[in-house]
Amino acid sequence: MNCPHCASPTTKEQRKKTTLGYSTFSCMRCHRTFNERTGTPFNYLEYPTDIVLLVVLWRLRYKLSLRDLAEIFLERGFVFTHETVREWEARFAPLLAERLRTKRRGQAGRSWYVDETYINVRGTWCYLYRALDRDGNLVDSRLSEKRDMEAAKQFFRQAIAMVGHAPERVTTDGHDSYPRAIREILGSEVMHRWNAYLNNHLEQDHRGIKQRYYPMRGFGNFTSASRFCRAYDEGRQFFRFRTTRKQYVSLADQRHLFCQRLDALKTMLLVA
């Protein structure tokens, strides 16, 4: 293991381990000691890394409140409060989202379906802009406090930066801000289909985030809502087993793929 301080490969593993059982090393060059988590975002945590990752992942993936997660891990012998879960989410959910966004950058089709849905933030309705391609894969998502021309433009700019190319066709509902935003940001050569019924599959896809935040009874502030919505969509896309809309994946294959991707996600996040 290379030294995280001077990057020297001349390190030696010591017999002593940390309280959580992680191996310790000494560097022959800078004479510093370190452990397996030194230099990673999980350094100085009082709990094992895999437990923290599971808490954050279950928080994003399943319909569990902060207190539900704290109670679930009591059976495994780990005692922490719901505020600890909130802190871990605030700290590691953006890291998870950014790693997943980097991994899928440029992976979207050229036919986009764009729509927005309502999200309750401290008693006020905000708007979650989302876009899927023809196969149902995520293009991008963005939470906005307003539903206007500027919000639509910012969403399309972010989507192009994420995907790396403009679409050939965009399907939206009848909101007045989309035609001009598409012309100015995506280009006049992009075909714009203006029909609410063609967006039915995206309307149904909104149910994922809607059902997920119901146990929380809305978000406390805009920052936490934006952080959660982005991490949720990225995690959901990462664990999506179908590559096309009507592809059949057996339950056994789904379980196998889930285990594979969970291991890959852990490895991805543990890289400093």
Within 8 A by CB and 6+ apart from 132, the residues are 112, 113, 138, 139, 201, 202, 205
Contact 108, 93 (CB under 8 A): no
Task: For 2-58, write each residue's pLDDT tens digit.
Answer: 888 888 888 888 888 877 778 888 888 888 887 777 777 888 788 888 899 999 999
Task: For 3-14, write each residue's pLDDT tens digit.
Answer: 888 888 888 888
Superfamily of domain 111-220: Ribonuclease H-like superfamily/Ribonuclease H (3.30.420.10)
For 101, 163, 164, the CA distances from 111, given in Å and listed in that order, are: 19, 12, 14
Listed by start position, the domains of the chain span: 1-39, 111-220
* 17 C-beta neighbours (distance < 10 Å), count: 13
Q: Is the pLDDT score of 227 beyond 90?
A: yes
Check residue 147 and give left, alpha or beta (phi > 0: left; psi -120 to 50: alpha): beta
Question: Shortest CA distance to 139 belongs to which of 126, 154, 121, 158?
Answer: 158
| pLDDT classification of 271: cutoffs 50, 70, 90 | low
| pLDDT classification of 95: cutoffs 50, 70, 90 | very high
Q: Is the pLDDT score of 140 beyond 70?
A: yes
pTM of whole model > 0.75?
Answer: yes
Contact 11, 28 (CB under 8 A): yes
